[in-house]
Structure 1
Amino acid sequence: MSNEFVVRSLDEVRFWSRIMKEHSLFLRLGFRCEDTQLINEANHFYSVFEAIESKANAYDAGTDPQTIQRFNIEVHTAACHIWAFKRKVLGLILQCRLPGQTNFPLLVDHVSREANYFRNRLEQLNAGQLDPLPDAIINENVFFLRIMADHAKFIGHLLDPSERKLVDQAKQFSDEFDTLLFQAQDIESMRPQSQTVPLLDQFLDQNRVSVKSLRDFKKTARDLIEACRIKSIIHPLLADHVFREAERFLFIIDMFERTLTGTTAKNVQIHH
């Protein structure tokens, strides 16, 4: 265990604990007023991840690695519990047991995939067994391209139908990222023969261009929503939430690019 383990662990926990906390809020807002048990559970997870976020921010790069290893185990338990809660909610929705609630089934599945990603990353960090670079590049891009495609679909459905231009832009991004995801899955199925530096470098370059465009679209939408300049039912925090996840994906792409080719990629500021 090393300083790098501490830094990487804290980066993951700070980012994803805030994401999990916000998921709890978004799910709660979609429940019906009579769903008191689900609302209470969502509030509980909000408090759990708010405490984790605060604890992570109190640590620094000089913290004893053993302390961070124990902290990762604690956070992993919380991530497993919120994953189970999200899957329970998804089941209730798909069984038509929550008529009138407003959480899309795909959104609940989406947030559960992110919880699963988070807990898997904590397991990898504590085991010291991160994926080899070629596998990591493909796996991360397959995961995040689907996340980005989902975001475009959610934005398109939560904008007011009268915002025709923005709805159309969201649909175009949805189609674009569906295509990129299919391409990534093709590369995934061609492993290990597809894991060459030229192919992976082109893969990253192509995805970066599209993610930057989507990131800029999300930023514009977020700013317009915060200024009450467009019609939608998108919570301002949700608009910022999906923007930060696009920033995260760009950060990961640039990190891979530097490691893969040794070139200097543009640094992306990540806001936890």
Structure 2
Amino acid sequence: MNKLNMANPIVIRSLDEIQFWSRIMKEHALFLSLGFTHDQKQLIAEAHYFINLFEQIEEKLTRFNANTDIHHIQAFNNEVYQAAVAIWGYKRKVLGLILRCEIQTQNNYPLLVDHVSREAAYFAKRLKDLNKGKLAPEPDTIIKENLFFLKIMADHAKFIGHLLDPSERKLVEQAREFSHDFDQLVFQAIDLDSMRPQSETVPILDQFLDQNRVSVASLRDFKKTARELIEACRIKSNIHPLLADHTFREAERFLEIIDLFDSHLSKTAKKK
């Protein structure tokens, strides 16, 4: 039997989560550091600390593979979990400083800081769940995870619209339309969540995923176009090229998760 087929799925999923989210956390720290004013040296230094911390995690990640003993992976998950919790605490501290008007920043507005802190909390929870052996999604997980990502996508649309130059009227309008679309999807997900457990049927969840997939794919394509235009300096904006790529990768991630959930529902339906 092929060794890869014998690999523990918890190991494979853990490495995948760490590879994706550690890069995201590192980039969050970079974006926050760029959004502070020059006199906020302590906050900038803390951001650089997290950039280095997650770079070290990325380096350690290269030492593991799908056949690594699960106990080593669990220990690594715990280490990365501590880093995720630490950067979450830093982000929430920054949010508090902003909301109490104790600091003024450039582009670190409250919703963005809250947004990146929610992603850190999500990453930490994923690692915790994996170390508990939770892999196959439960029906409530499907709803809650989609709700999380739908809010992330809605935020992205708002950020893009906010950071585009106002003269880019067509793109700004498109971003607003995506913001409205995803706000509606968020409300639908909240309604579905409030109907649990009765809403946790395969047909309803299947339709839920299909609807989300169409909207996420459309937003992903918009982000891809925006990224290419920004990289080619063909549009006017305050969007860092790395930020454009960052939001594109998160849309791609959401689509992958929708496909994973869809596959799980198909298997569940066949068993019945």
Instruction: Assess same fold via TM > 0.5.
Output: yes
Query: After superposition, where does 1:1-272 map in structure 2 within 5 Å?
Result: 3-130=8-135, 132-262=137-267
Aligned to 1:268: none
Q: Take 2:105 and 2:62, find their aligned partners in 1: how far apart are those partners?
A: 38
User: What is the alpha-carbon distance in structure 2 between the residues aligned to residue 209 and residue 106 of structure 1?
Assistant: 25
How far has the Cα of 1:136 moved from its partner?
1.7
| Shift in CA distance, 9/253, structure 1 to aligned 2, threshold 3 Å | same
Report the alpha carbon displacement of residue 132 of structure 1 after superposing the two structures with TM: 4.2
Distance in 1 (alpha carbons) for counterparts of 2:116 and 2:265: 30
Unaligned runs of 5+ in 1: 264-272
Question: CA contact under 8 A between 1:14 and 1:57: conserved in structure 2?
Answer: no
Q: Which moved more, 1:95-104 or 1:124-133?
A: 124-133
Amino acid paired to 2:209? L
Q: Is the 8 A contact 2:26 2:55 kept in 1?
A: yes
Larger CA deviation: 126-135 vs 251-260: 126-135
State the distance in 1 between where 2:209 and 2:46 align.
39
| Mapped partners of 2:42, 2:101: distance in 1 | 17
Q: CA deviation at 1:246?
A: 0.1
Q: Secondary structure at 2:62's aligned position in 1? A: helix
The TM-score with structure 2 as length reference comes to 0.94
Q: How far does the alpha carbon of each residue in 1:21-50 deviate from its partner, in whole angstroms, 9 at most, with x for none? A: 000000000000000000000000000001
Cα distance per residue 1:68-115 (max 9 Å; x no partner)? 100000000001100000000001111111124321100000000000
Aligned to 1:269: none
Instruction: Specify every segment of 5 or more residues in structure 2 that has no aligned partner in the other structure, as ranges.
Output: 1-6
CA distance in 2, matches of 1:43, 1:132: 35
8 A Cα contact 1:80 1:119, kept in partner: yes
Cα separation, 1, equivalents of 2:55 and 2:24: 10
Structure 1 vs Structure 2: percent identity of aligned residues? 69
8 Å contact kept, 2:35–2:105:
no
> In terms of mean alpha carbon deviation, does 56-65 or 219-228 score higher?
56-65
Tell me how far apart the structure 2 counterparts of residues 50 and 249 of structure 1 sit (CA, whole Å).
24
Once residues 78 and 179 of structure 1 are traced to their aligned partners in structure 2, the CA distance between those partners, rounded to angstroms, is 34
C-alpha distance in 2 between matches for 1:4 and 1:260: 18
Count of aligned positions: 263
RMSD: 1.4
Residues 149 and 178, structure 1, Cα contact 8 Å, conserved in 2? yes
1:31–1:102 CA contact under 8 A, matched in 2: yes
